[in-house]
Structure 1
Amino acid sequence: MSERNDGEKRTVAQRARDLYMPTVFSRAQLIRSGLSGRRISSAVARGDLVRIRRDRYALPSTPQDVISAVRIGGRVSCLTLLVSVGVFVHHCRRLHVLVTPGSSRLRLSKETESVLHWRVRSSVDRCLHAAPIAEAVAHSVYCQTPRDALATLDSVLHHAVMTYEELADLFASLPARFRALLALVDASAASGPETYMRLILKAMGVSYETQVYLEGVGYVDFVVDGWLIIECDSKEFHEGWEKQVQDRARDIAAARLGYVTVRPLAKELLGDHTAVREALEQIIEVMGARFTDGPRSRFSMNDRRTV
């Protein structure tokens, strides 16, 4: 499931840049910018500024999650922040807020279920409304299952939100129980379901390649044992008849090269994936012998990996 043809949408880097634009200000910052106390009050009355809480003002365009986090007394972080910039997160049903240790007068809302994060790995930067990306990624490891956390970490690397070296530094500061995840991170995963599919293939012990380019077909998500193509389909990227036509044309082109294609749905991978694994094991058992000497991929973005 590729996100390569996404030119009309903002990239993760663009969304992150927008999120960290100054949209929340202290009263002192507004006064330093040339506004008097009276002009601040007038701007609030006109709707040009929103008074969130004592000493915090926001532009009207500020996202609601950000306003809610600042109103509590912190900054948006963890899964909420990562979702807002387009990093893959399996589930995010609550507002995640970074609260500086020692903070008081927190204003928790009965309408919004919140998760407060008190752990701060580094000094707090100047942004008043959003935690540093590294802090949000660290929090996301605590807040998710290992499988879900790995999908988020893959997405962070794939979208170049952080480098591998930066992730390694981050994990060095986390409890030892989390560090095994770092060895499993793979930036080639172009979507969350691809991470879950990779974990299934690892558990099966088969040989596979990721993001393989086939002449006349294009990039495919996985090639297993040199003959079985696996494409991880989701509603977001495979909806509509036109897309269905393209996928079928790609499958026929792959078949002409000697490949078999299967397309498990994202919802099957994100939930209980037992049925997917069993189906793949049966397909490989029934058809694998016929393709022992079959075609092998001509080009791969990654080294061939045998698990």
Structure 2
Amino acid sequence: MELTWNAYSRAELCAHGFTRRSLARALESGELLRVRRDRYVRTDIPAALQSAVRIGGRATCLTLLQMLGVFVFQNSRLHVHVPRGSSRLRSPGTTRAPLAPRADRAYRLHWMTLARQDEGTSTCVGVLDALIHAVICQPARYAIATLDSALHAGLIDEIDMGDIFAALPARFQVLRPLINGRAESGPETLVRLILRGLGCDIIPQVTFDGIGRVDLLVDGWLVIECDSREFHEAWEQQAKDRERDLRLAARGYATLRLTAAVIMTRPDDVIAAIRGMLTVRGVS
């Protein structure tokens, strides 16, 4: 019998071929786990999904998006969608205790009516609703980066984007023109927004013959690369990056190479560096 990353009732398990005895054996062996009354899951599903079902809802927002590889800035909390009117919510760690007050900040409950009720699984909401929740949960610049990331990954399209903003409160509509699915990373989006705030002309993902694609071309002369440790920590890759910078310089382009850590934790330093280069260019 084939079970997926869903939560099942006893009746559903019986429909999959379980008997009372085989269900007891599956629970004893660790094949299945009872996470709350009449809700069973496979023990190999992610712990966040188990906890969401144990509470009485489904994983959503930053929790689900992290699992899907979508950019979110930071998240250590469990985000759970709970239908309006739900009762008997339990602790994410044990069915023996009721859900504690939110003061511990270990979780966030989302009570909004879902835009697409029929999407997702019994352990998580659909991607579109997770993104709606993520826009509300994050500061604007990170929400834009999250939407860029989902669009670039092909998890949503422009029609979906329209549905997302149709479901969001009016105050979020100003973000819609700032979405650009060409961005290949969250840090790249954050730098693009900084540049926009500085009044720069920005072209993302520009390809130079014989050199390759760069993250951002600014005002026609400044190339900005947003490097992540994962892809740039090896010396061989660093040597290739420097060769690219050398070839760009020979064509009259300056290069500013920023790490993801600096972009996300020291934005004021990024702004100062960009302003410094723009000032020098203006003087020359």
Q: Report the TM-score when normalising by structure 1.
A: 0.83
1:302 corresponding residue in structure 2: none
Return the alpha-carbon distance in structure 2 between the equivalents of residues 161 and 66 of structure 1: 20
Q: CA deviation at 1:86?
A: 0.0
2:237 corresponding residue in structure 1: 243
Out of 75, 78, 82, the position equivalent to 1:95 is 78
SS, match of residue 80 in structure 1 = helix
Return the alpha-carbon distance in structure 2 between the equivalents of residues 256 and 271 of structure 1: 32
Structure 2 unaligned regions, length at least 5? 93-99
SS, match of residue 93 in structure 1 = coil
Return the alpha-carbon distance in structure 2 between the equivalents of residues 275 and 154 of structure 1: 24
Return the alpha-carbon distance in structure 2 between the equivalents of residues 288 and 41 of structure 1: 75
Out of 58, 66, 70, the position equivalent to 2:41 is 58
More relative contact order, 1 or 2 (CA 8 Å, 6+ apart) = 1
Return the alpha-carbon distance in structure 2 between the equivalents of residues 143 and 207 of structure 1: 30
Return the alpha-carbon distance in structure 2 between the equivalents of residues 89 and 126 of structure 1: 20
Q: CA deviation at 1:165?
A: 1.5
Out of 45, 49, 52, the position equivalent to 2:32 is 49
Structure 1 unaligned regions, length at least 5? 1-19, 291-307
Out of 4, 15, 20, the position equivalent to 1:37 is 20
1:299 corresponding residue in structure 2: none
Q: Deviations over 1:248-288 (max 9, x none)?
A: 11111212222111112222221341222222122122124
Change (3 A) 1:272 1:37: same
Q: CA deviation at 1:125?
A: 4.5
Q: Report the TM-score when normalising by structure 2.
A: 0.90
Q: Is 2:158 the counterpart of 1:164?
A: yes
Q: Is 2:196 the counterpart of 1:213?
A: no
Q: RMSD of the alignment, in Å?
A: 1.9
Q: CA deviation at 1:237?
A: 2.2
Kindly report structure 1 stretches of 4+ aligned residues shifted beyond 6 Å.
none
Return the alpha-carbon distance in structure 1 between the equivalents of residues 275 and 105 of structure 2: 44
Q: Is 2:107 the counterpart of 1:114?
A: yes
Return the alpha-carbon distance in structure 2 between the equivalents of residues 112 and 37 of structure 1: 39
Q: How many residues align?
A: 271
Q: Does the Cα contact within 8 Å between 2:54 and 2:90 map onto a contact in 1?
A: yes
SS, match of residue 211 in structure 1 = strand
Return the alpha-carbon distance in structure 2 between the equivalents of residues 87 and 21 of structure 1: 22
Give 1:86-235 correspondences, 5 Å limit: 86-109=69-92, 113-122=106-115, 123-125=117-119, 127-235=121-229
Return the alpha-carbon distance in structure 2 between the equivalents of residues 37 and 240 of structure 1: 55
Q: Deviations over 1:55-74 (max 9, x none)?
A: 11111210111111111111
Q: CA deviation at 1:229?
A: 0.6
